[in-house]
Amino acid sequence: MNTVFTCSFDDGHPSDMKLAGLLVKYGLNATFFIPHRNREGLPVMSTGQLRELALQFEIGSHTLDHCYLRTVDKDEAVRQITEGKKKLEDQLGAAVHGFCYPGGSYNAPHAQMVKAAGFEYARTTVNLRFDAGDRDYEMPTTIQFYPHPSSVYLRNFIRGGNWDRRTNGLRLALQFKDWNERLIALFDYACEQKALFHLWGHSWEIDALDAWPVIDRFLAHVAERVVRQNRLTNRQLAARTYSA
The pLDDT score that the predictor gives to residue 162 is 87
Total domains present in the chain: 1
What are the helix (H) ranges across the chain?
A: 16-25, 47-54, 74-92, 108-116, 150-160, 163-175, 179-192, 203-209, 212-225, 234-242
Q: Max CA-CA distance within the chain? A: 47
Q: Show Cβ contacts of residue 143 under 8 Å, excluding neighbours closer than 6 positions.
A: 127, 128, 169, 173, 182, 183, 186, 198, 199, 200
CA dist., res. 147 & res. 139, Å (int): 22
Other Cβ atoms closer than 10 A to 152: 14
The pLDDT score that the predictor gives to residue 159 is 86
- Exposure string (b/e) for 50-72, b if CB count within 10 Å is 16 or more? beebbeebbbbbbbbbbbbbeee
The pLDDT score that the predictor gives to residue 160 is 85
Digits of tens for pLDDT over the chain (244 positions)? 699 999 999 999 999 999 999 999 999 999 999 999 999 999 999 999 999 999 999 999 999 999 999 999 999 999 999 999 999 999 999 999 999 999 999 999 999 999 999 999 999 999 999 999 999 999 999 999 999 999 999 999 998 888 999 999 999 999 999 999 999 999 999 999 999 999 999 999 999 999 999 999 999 999 999 999 999 999 999 999 997 5
Compute the C-alpha angle 48/54/56, nearest 5°. Answer: 125
CA dist., res. 228 & res. 203, Å (int): 23
Q: Show Cβ contacts of residue 149 under 8 Å, excluding neighbours closer than 6 positions.
A: none
CA dist., res. 182 & res. 149, Å (int): 11
- 65 secondary structure, DSSP code: T
Judge if pTM exceeds 0.75.
yes
CA dist., res. 95 & res. 78, Å (int): 18
DSSP states along 159-190? HH--HHHHHHHHHHHHH--SHHHHHHHHHHHH
Domain with 222 in it: 4-242
**CATH code of the domain in which 80 resides:** 3.20.20.370
HSE toward the beta carbon, residue 87, CA cutoff 13 A: 17
3-state helix, strand, coil in the chain (%, to 5): 50, 15, 35
Beta bridge partners of 7: 199
Q: Show Cβ contacts of residue 187 under 8 Å, excluding neighbours closer than 6 positions.
A: 142, 197, 218, 221, 222, 225
The pLDDT score that the predictor gives to residue 244 is 56
